[in-house]
Amino acid sequence: MKVNKKLAAEMVGIGRTTFYRHIKEKPISVDDRGKIDVSELIRVYGNENVRTPEQLEQEKKEPKEHDGTPTNIRLEEEIKRLKSELEKSDLERSRERTQFTEEIESLRENLNKALSQSDNLTKLLTDQRNQEDKQKSQKEREQEDKLDALLKSVQKMEDEQNRKKGFIERLFGS
């Protein structure tokens, strides 16, 4: 299929003056009637960059954006899909952040419990009472020592009394 230069420029999406320059620079073959074969456009610009006249007509019928460019339905659908994926990604990230926050709080609680247990064990292994409790305990020991000494003295006295009583009984033979 052969097209005129104006349509060929539209098909590859460039201006006419640029296309005329390309005819010279990129040796694009033009027949003696000024027509260009579409296969020649594909050879120079690549298949993905050459639109058919039908596609050009369709683009003209598509609604225009505020800047006058035709809207591309495929691009809009891709944007919608990407927005949806982004929302899903944000939701997943939020869920993971909540899960990690809960895990961190749980680990902190466990650490605090372990530290508390460790502290209690240390107190059991070492005398961690305050000074007042230590002084009370010291006074209690001193009082116990005095009481023990008194009990020994009383025991000695009883033993002495029993010995004297036994001596008197033996003397007088009661």
Q: Is the pLDDT of residue 30 over 70?
A: yes
Q: Are residue 84 and residue 108 in the same domain, yes or no?
A: yes
Last residue of a domain, which of 18, 48, 65? 65
Per-residue pLDDT at 157 exceeds 90: yes
Same domain, 77 and 60: no
55 plus 77 within the same structural domain: no
Give the confidence band of 73 by pLDDT, cuts at 50, 70, 90: confident
- Are 52 and 80 in the same domain? no
Domain that holds residue 167: 140-174
Mean pLDDT: which of 51-65, 103-117, 157-171 is highest? 103-117
At 116, which amino acid appears?
S
Residue 87 confidence class, pLDDT cut points 50, 70, 90: very high
What's the pLDDT band for 3 if we cut at 50, 70, 90? very high
Calpha distance 133→128 (Å, rounded): 10
In a domain, 8, yes or no: yes
Indicate the average pLDDT of the chain: 86
Q: Is residue 91 part of a domain?
A: yes
Q: Report the pLDDT averaged over residues 11-22.
A: 91
What local confidence, expressed as pLDDT, does residue 173 receive? Answer: 72
Residues 164-174, mean pLDDT to the nearest whole number? 80
Q: Measured in whole angstroms, how far is the alpha carbon of residue 146 from the centre of its chain?
A: 67
Residue 134 in domain: no
Query: Quick one: what percent of the chain has pLDDT higher than 90?
Result: 53
Q: Quick one: 79 and 39 in the same domain?
A: no
Q: Answer yes or no: is 78 within a domain.
A: yes
- Structural domain count, the chain: 3
Q: Closest Cα partner for 4 from 34, 32, 48, 42?
A: 34
Residue 152, pLDDT > 90, answer: yes
Classify residue 115: in a domain, yes or no. Answer: yes
Identify whether residues 13 and 35 lie together within a single domain.
yes
Please, what sign has the CA dihedral across residues 68, 70, 75, 77? positive
Are 119 and 151 found together in one domain? no
Asked whether residue 61 falls in the same domain as residue 76, the answer is no
pTM score, whole prediction? 0.37
**Is residue 60 over pLDDT 70?**
yes
